[in-house]
Amino acid sequence: MERIILYGSQYGSTRRYAEKLSEQTGIPAASYKEAPALADRQVIIYLGGLYAGGVLGLAKTLRGFSLQSGQKLILVTVGLADPNDPENRNNIRASLQRQLPAELLDRAATYHLRGGIDYQKLSLGHRAVMALLYQSLRRTPIEKQTPENRALIETYGKQVDFTDFCALEPIIREIQG
pLDDT at 161 over 80: yes
Residue 57: exposure state from Cβ atoms within 10 A (0-12, 13-18, ≥19): buried
| Class of residue 81 by CB neighbours under 10 A (exposed 0-12, middle 13-18, buried 19+) | buried
pLDDT of residue 67: 84
Report, as an integer, the average pLDDT of 15-20. Answer: 98
- pLDDT band for 53, please (50, 70, 90 cuts): low
pLDDT the model gives residue 109 = 96
pLDDT of residue 22: 98
Band of pLDDT at residue 1, cut at 50, 70 and 90: low
Whether 66 shows a pLDDT value over 70: the answer reads yes
In the predicted structure, residue 34 carries a pLDDT above the cut 60? yes
Mean pLDDT of 119-143: 90
Amino acid identity for residue 140 in this structure? T
Q: What is the pTM of this model?
A: 0.88
Given pLDDT bands bounded at 50, 70 and 90, which one contains residue 39? confident
Residues β-bridged to residue 54: 51
- Please compute the mean of the pLDDT values over residues 75-91 and round it to a whole number: 89
The per-residue pLDDT of the chain, averaged, comes to: 91
pLDDT of residue 149: 81
**Band of the pLDDT at 36, cuts 50, 70, 90?**
confident
7: three-class secondary structure by DSSP: strand
Interhelix angle 13-25/169-176, nearest 10 degrees: 50
Mean pLDDT over 153-174 rounds to 94
> What percentage of the chain reaches a pLDDT higher than 90?
59
Whether the predicted pLDDT of 110 surpasses 90: yes
